[in-house]
């Protein structure tokens, strides 16, 4: 009996030992696999720069992106100066430097806080002036200097107002326009911007707009459309039979220079919207954004060239310039995810929009001097809607909701503000002032005094 127990327990112990050994052998590959999987993450963490270094590079990205976007103000000024008639060039230059200055002050006084402070999934931030880091500040928890972020975001709001300036050029009074600019940059843009970039309700819903096809460009386009409808067309822009009458701009070289400046500034617009440059991955993504941005603009140009030749038998350089800008606007909603060929295609469709939307506006008797509505509003809508094709985290339904929300709010609010300004102080110059040119009647300084006659 004792021998039986001894045999039994010996066998049991051997079985348990064998089972344990088998389990250990089976677990070894899984452990090895887990270790191998964790190795890249550990290597990445080990190779990540110190927090202070990331802070410096992130701040540098905001500052470099900010001054590139700021330089877009010069691009808008030159583009508009080239596309208006010689008697209105000084006015456009004046408006653009005023826009940038008013936007800067308003975005500090109230705009930034409305857009980014305590939105918390809601519809609006707080009414307060924004405070920068203290002198010598080292608040590393933010990941960047707060002043650098403010500067970068401020340049965006100035670009939004410049879109309006070009559309309603040559017939709009200066001071009503500047009042509208203050409201747009200090109130309207920050409120709608908070919905997405301030972690508001659209952000919570999953709306995607990487660098602002809708948040910036369509908002400017909707505000411009409202203004164009209320201020009306330039005298003589449409014949009695409704046909559009061409009013050539004063300088194709200036318009071309403005387009190239805007193209250059767009690398800061889209590239710095990565919002970080402190890791290898961020630097790689920024490079990809630069490349896609450039390809989209090129796609817009080439498609516009081909279509104009095929349809009209000649190529209008102003349409090609707008084709480049439409390509840039189109890629702005998602410049990171697309493959190179997709970026070219997205930008190319922007060129198609320009070619067909410009004559459509003529048929509707909407006078858009520089073509900003096709470029910024319509191409912005296209760019936002196509995001889910390359970004699986976005959905067409949510994108449509976001586009509609921005359109309804901005167009309605802008229409009300323009209507109030029209009733209170008037927004349009007299026919005599329009004929003489706003350089003489509103500014007092002619851009080309040797050549201006008051009749162009």
Cα–Cα nearest to 192, from 414, 10, 452: 414
**What residues have CB less than 8 Å from 226, skipping those under 6 apart?**
410, 411, 414, 415, 418
**Rounded distance between C-alpha atoms, residue 215 and residue 380, angstroms:** 9
For residue 43, what pLDDT is reported? Answer: 53
Is the pLDDT at 343 greater than 60? The verdict is: yes
- What number of other Cβ atoms are within 10 A of residue 111's Cβ? 29
What are 80's strand-pairing partners? none
Q: Which fold has domain 57-128+135-443?
A: Ammonium transporter fold (1.10.3430)
Asked whether residue 9 carries a pLDDT value surpassing 70, the answer given is no
Q: Is pLDDT at 384 greater than 70 in this prediction?
A: yes
Token reading at 273: 């919207």
pLDDT recorded at residue 454: 46
Q: What's the confidence (pLDDT) of residue 451?
A: 72
Domain positions in the chain are 57-128+135-443
Is the distance from CB of 427 to CB of 226 less than 8 angstroms? no
Provide the phi-psi class of 39: left if phi over 0, else alpha when psi is between -120 and 50, else beta: alpha
> Which has the minimum average pLDDT: 22-26, 98-102, 414-418?
22-26
Kindly tell me if the per-residue pLDDT of 167 is higher than 80: yes
pLDDT at 228 over 60: yes
Could you identify the residue written with the tokens 């001071």?
A: 175
Report the alpha-carbon distance of residue 412 to residue 210 in Å, rounded.
25
How much is the pLDDT for 334? 98
Query: If you ran DSSP here, which 8-state letter would residue 394 be given?
Result: -
DSSP type of residue 236: T
Which pLDDT belongs to residue 189? 98
Lowest mean pLDDT across 23-27, 75-79, 107-111, 202-206: 23-27
Interatomic CA distance for residues 207 and 400, integer angstroms: 9
pLDDT tens-digit readout, 184-216: 999 999 999 999 999 999 999 999 999 999 999
d(CA 322, CA 297): 10
pLDDT of 353 > 60? The answer is yes
Helix, strand, coil % in the chain, rounded to nearest 5: 75, 0, 25
pLDDT of residue 49: 87
Going by pLDDT thresholds of 50, 70 and 90, the confidence category of residue 111 is very high
Summarize pLDDT for 259-298 with one digit per residue, the tens: 999 999 999 999 999 999 999 999 999 999 999 999 999 9
Residue 273 and residue 149: Cα distance in Å, rounded? 10
Q: Give the orientation angle of helix 51-83 with respect to helix 252-271, to 10 degrees.
A: 160
Q: Please give the share of the chain, as a percent, with pLDDT higher than 90.
A: 84
* Alpha carbons within 13 A on the beta-carbon side of 252: 7
| pLDDT exceeds cutoff 50 at 41 | no
The mean pLDDT value for 301-326 works out to: 98
For residue 297, the number of C-alpha atoms closer than 13 Å in the C-beta half-sphere is: 21
Mean of all residue pLDDT scores within the chain? 90
The phi, psi pair for 428, rounded to 5°, reads: -120, 140
Phi, psi (deg, nearest 5) at residue 244: -70, 140
């Amino acid at each position: 009996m004792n021998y039986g127990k001894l045999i039994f327990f010996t066998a049991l112990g051997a079985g348990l030992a064998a089972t344990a050994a088998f389990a250990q052998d089976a677990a070894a590959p899984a452990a090895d696999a887990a270790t191998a999987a964790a190795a890249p993450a550990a290597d990445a963490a080990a190779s990540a720069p110190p927090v202070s270094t990331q802070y410096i590079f992130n701040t540098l990205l905001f500052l470099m992106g900010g001054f590139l976007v700021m330089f877009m103000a010069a691009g808008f000024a030159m583009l508009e100066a080239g596309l208006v008639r010689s008697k209105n060039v000084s006015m456009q230059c004046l408006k653009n430097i005023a826009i940038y200055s008013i936007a800067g002050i308003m975005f500090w006084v109230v705009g930034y806080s409305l857009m980014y402070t305590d939105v918390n999934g809601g519809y609006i931030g707080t009414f307060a002036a924004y405070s920068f880091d203290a002198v010598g500040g080292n608040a590393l928890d933010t990941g960047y200097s707060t002043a650098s972020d403010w500067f970068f975001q401020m340049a965006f709001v100035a670009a939004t107002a410049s879109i309006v300036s070009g559309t309603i050029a040559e017939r709009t009074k200066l001071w009503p326009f500047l009042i509208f600019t203050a409201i747009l940059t200090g109130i309207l843009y920050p409120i709608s911007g908070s919905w997405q970039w301030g972690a508001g309700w659209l952000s919570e819903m999953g709306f995607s707009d990487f660098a602002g096809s809708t948040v910036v460009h369509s908002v400017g386009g909707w505000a411009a459309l409202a203004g164009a409808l209320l201020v009306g067309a330039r005298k003589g822009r449409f014949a009695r039979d409704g046909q559009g009458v061409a009013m050539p701009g004063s300088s194709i070289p200036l318009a071309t220079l403005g387009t190239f400046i805007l193209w250059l500034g767009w690398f800061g617009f889209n590239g710095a919207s990565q919002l970080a440059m402190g890791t290898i991955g961020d630097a790689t993504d920024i490079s990809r954004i630069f490349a896609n941005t450039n390809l989209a603009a090129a796609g817009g140009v080439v498609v516009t060239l081909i279509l104009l030749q095929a349809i009209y038998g000649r190529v209008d350089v102003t349409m090609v310039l707008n084709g480049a800008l439409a390509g840039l606007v189109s890629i702005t909603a998602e410049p990171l995810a697309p493959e190179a060929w997709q970026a070219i295609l997205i930008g190319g469709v922007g060129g198609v929009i320009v070619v067909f939307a410009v004559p459509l506006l003529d048929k509707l008797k909407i006078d858009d001097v520089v073509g900003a509505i096709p470029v910024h509003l319509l191409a912005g809508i296209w760019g936002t809607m196509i995001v889910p094709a390359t970004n699986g985290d976005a959905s067409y339904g949510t994108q449509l909701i976001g586009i509609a929300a921005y359109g309804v709010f901005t167009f309605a609010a802008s229409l009300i503000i323009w209507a109030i300004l029209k009733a209170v102080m008037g927004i349009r110059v007299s026919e005599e002032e329009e004929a003489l040119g706003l350089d003489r009647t509103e500014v007092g300084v002619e851009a080309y005094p040797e050549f201006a006659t008051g009749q162009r």
